[in-house]
Each structure stands twice: as structure tokens, then as C-alpha cells.
């Protein structure tokens, strides 16, 4: 009996300490190189996967079925220097929908030109209050951001503490950081000022934690909790609430990348949700979506059969 109780306690402890992410990592080599053993990239993929999935990022207890499904694709574009690489990181995540097997997309973000160093079989180290490397800082940033983005959909401004951790990483990275001779951009607040800077790590975080975007964050929360999660029980009310959330984003005077990214991520979902609605309603959705992100006008028109 004591052995059974011990095993039960151990299993409960392990379940209580379960990590937050179920991150599928893929490293793709698109750089021309014959001097590097391809096994290096296999080991890189394994090391990054372990870093994302085995580390405990928050104090919350996640059961195995609660882990956040996410995807990290690292497209190596330059491998010309020993142990030094440049890559485009693509981050994707999805959120479960209440009482459904459907998952709703949350992130579809690309971060290009990231220089980093990787030494095969050497652990990737990270500390919240000490900069160690551009690779670990970038991975930690997106780990926190993925979790924060999901938390934002379950409670109003629910990702605040983790967004602040992301901001802390930005502040922690040394100014004018170079990695094997390549500048590590996307961390400094001065880089967030122009349109292209809005898509940087620092640009995203400064926009998210700024009080001027509370309306956007609240709209994202209501889109999911009063919309997506209500689809199975009351689809009419759910669609009304989703439309209202889109309108709240549409009414924001100055559109930022975070607003556009949300619409780009949700485009296919919105097309599927409103495909059978009246022509008048579909045109209204197109007007609002296109007003937030004009580049998606053709896609949403086609998706809604207009």
C-alpha cells in the first residue's frame, strides 16, 4: 500500500510540474554549405526542442492535455561561419475551443535575419535576469510570448506578467549586440519606431503592454471567450460577438502590426465562420477585415464568396 501511495504521489507531483509547451521544432537548411556535417542541424533541432519543451516557463500547473500546441520552424539562410548561423524563425500556435475538437489559430509570425551561435552538443543556457546568448534569448522570448498569447484569450489581459517577461528580455539584451560579426536586431526600443519596426520583437511587445492597446487586447479576449468558445452552444450569439470584436479592432484609429497580424491569422477562420451568412453581413466582414489589413482584401473576398 505504501508503494502504491508513493507512486501515486510521484505521478501527481510530475503532473503538477508538467511543462507548458508542446512545441514541434523543425530546422531547415537553405544555405549553400558543404563544410558542415548535416547531423549538426539534427542535433540543433533536438537541442532547441528540449529547450522549449522541457523547461518550466511559469508557476502554473499544466496537465499533459493542457499543453499549448505550437510550431517553431528555423530556416537557416546562412551557415558560412563556424558555429554561427543566420535564420528566419516562424512561430505558430493554436488554441483549443471549448467543447470542440477544433483548434483556433493564434500566432502566425515570421522573424527574419536572426544571427545566433550554436555549438553541437553544448546545452542552450538561459536565465531570466542574465543575457547569455541571442539564441536562448530569442527562444525564451517566443516561449513566453506563445504562453502569453493563449492566456490573453482566457482572461482579460491574462498574459500581462509573461508579456512583461518578454519586455525584460528585450531590455536585457546588450545594445549594439553582434553575433559573429552580424548585428542582432529586434531588441532595442529605438528599432520599434518605424513601420517595419512594428514587426520586431520589441515592437510587438511595446505595443502589447502599452495602455493604448487595451481595447485591442480586450477585443481578442472577447473574440475567443464570448465567440469561439460559444460556437457549439449558441452559434448565432457567438457570431454576433465575433463580429463585434472585429469591429472594435476596426475602430482603432491607427493600425499596428499586432492588429494586422491578428486578422491575417484569423482570415481563414473568419471566412469559414461567416461563409453561410447573408451577403450584407459578409460584405460588412470584408469591409472591416480589409480596413484592418488591406492586403487581405482579395483573400477574404474569395473566402466569403464575394
- Does the model's pTM come out above 0.95? no
pLDDT attached to residue 163: 98
pLDDT attached to residue 6: 36
CB environment 175-207: b (16+ within 10 A), e (fewer)? eebebbebebbbbbeebbeeeebbbbbbbbbbb
* 59 class by beta-carbon count within 10 Å (0-12 exposed, 13-18 middle, 19+ buried): exposed
The helix/strand/coil state of 85 is strand
pLDDT attached to residue 36: 75
Q: What's the angle, vertex CA 60, arms to CA 55 and CA 64, rounded to 5?
A: 70
Q: At what angle do helices 201-209 and 160-172 cross, to 10 degrees?
A: 140
> Strands, E, within the chain: which ranges?
21-29, 68-81, 84-96, 103-117, 178-179, 182-183
Per domain, the residue ranges of the chain are 16-209, 213-303
Spatial distance between the Cα atoms of 8 and 19, rounded to a whole number of angstroms: 19
Spatial distance between the Cα atoms of 92 and 89, rounded to a whole number of angstroms: 10
Spatial distance between the Cα atoms of 95 and 158, rounded to a whole number of angstroms: 14
Q: Which cell goes with 142?
A: 517566443
Spatial distance between the Cα atoms of 159 and 253, rounded to a whole number of angstroms: 24
- Which residues, listed in sequence order, are joined to residue 183 by a DSSP beta bridge? 178
Q: What number of other Cβ atoms are within 10 A of residue 222's Cβ?
A: 18
Spatial distance between the Cα atoms of 265 and 79, rounded to a whole number of angstroms: 31
Residue 218: name the closest of 181, 165, 262, 257 by CA.
262
255 near 278, Cβ under 8 Å?
no
Q: What number of other Cβ atoms are within 10 A of residue 25's Cβ?
A: 20
170 near 189, Cβ under 8 Å?
yes
Residue 235: name the closest of 40, 145, 102 by CA.
102
Kindly state the DSSP code that residue 213 receives in the 8-state scheme: G
**Gyration radius from the chain CA atoms:** 21
**DSSP letter for each residue of 194-242:** STGGGGSHHHHHHHHHSGGGHHHHHHHHHIIIIIGGGTTT-HHHHHHHH
pLDDT attached to residue 35: 66
Spatial distance between the Cα atoms of 16 and 60, rounded to a whole number of angstroms: 8
pLDDT tens string for the chain (306 positions)?
334 333 334 444 444 458 899 999 999 998 766 667 889 999 999 999 999 999 999 998 888 888 999 999 999 999 988 899 999 999 999 999 999 899 999 999 999 999 999 999 899 999 999 999 999 999 999 999 999 999 999 999 999 999 999 999 999 999 999 999 999 999 999 999 888 899 999 999 999 999 899 999 999 999 999 999 999 999 999 999 999 999 999 999 999 999 999 999 999 999 999 999 999 999 999 999 999 999 999 999 999 988
Amino acid at each position: 500500500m505504501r508503494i502504491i501511495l508513493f507512486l501515486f504521489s510521484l505521478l501527481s507531483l510530475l503532473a503538477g510540474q508538467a511543462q507548458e509547451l508542446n512545441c514541434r521544432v523543425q530546422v531547415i537548411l537553405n544555405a549553400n554549405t558543404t563544410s558542415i556535417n548535416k547531423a549538426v542541424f539534427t542535433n540543433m533541432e533536438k537541442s532547441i526542442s528540449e529547450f522549449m519543451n522541457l523547461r518550466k516557463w511559469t508557476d502554473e500547473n499544466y496537465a499533459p492535455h493542457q499543453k499549448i500546441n505550437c510550431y517553431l520552424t528555423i530556416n537557416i539562410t546562412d551557415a558560412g561561419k563556424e558555429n554561427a548561423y543566420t535564420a528566419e524563425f516562424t512561430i505558430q500556435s493554436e488554441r483549443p475551443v471549448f467543447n470542440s475538437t477544433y483548434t483556433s489559430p493564434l500566432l502566425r509570425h515570421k522573424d527574419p535575419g536572426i544571427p545566433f551561435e550554436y555549438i553541437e552538443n553544448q546545452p542552450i543556457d538561459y536565465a531570466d535576469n542574465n543575457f547569455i546568448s541571442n539564441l536562448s534569448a530569442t527562444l525564451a522570448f517566443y516561449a513566453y510570448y506563445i504562453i502569453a498569447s493563449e492566456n490573453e484569450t482566457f482572461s482579460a489581459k491574462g498574459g500581462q506578467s509573461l508579456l512583461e517577461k518578454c519586455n525584460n528580455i528585450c531590455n536585457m539584451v546588450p545594445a549594439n549586440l553582434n553575433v559573429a560579426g552580424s548585428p542582432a536586431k529586434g531588441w532595442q526600443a529605438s528599432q520599434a519606431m518605424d513601420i517595419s519596426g512594428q514587426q520586431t520583437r520589441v515592437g510587438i511587445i511595446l505595443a502589447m503592454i502599452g495602455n493604448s492597446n487595451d481595447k485591442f487586447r480586450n477585443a481578442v479576449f472577447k473574440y475567443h471567450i464570448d465567440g469561439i468558445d460559444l460556437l457549439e452552444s449558441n452559434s448565432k450569439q457567438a457570431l454576433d460577438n465575433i463580429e463585434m470584436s472585429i469591429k472594435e479592432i476596426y475602430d482603432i484609429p491607427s493600425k499596428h502590426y499586432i492588429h494586422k497580424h491578428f486578422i491575417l491569422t484569423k482570415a481563414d477562420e473568419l471566412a469559414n465562420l461567416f461563409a453561410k451568412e447573408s451577403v450584407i453581413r459578409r460584405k460588412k466582414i470584408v469591409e472591416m477585415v480589409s480596413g484592418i489589413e488591406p492586403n487581405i482584401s482579395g483573400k477574404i473576398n474569395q473566402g466569403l464568396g464575394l
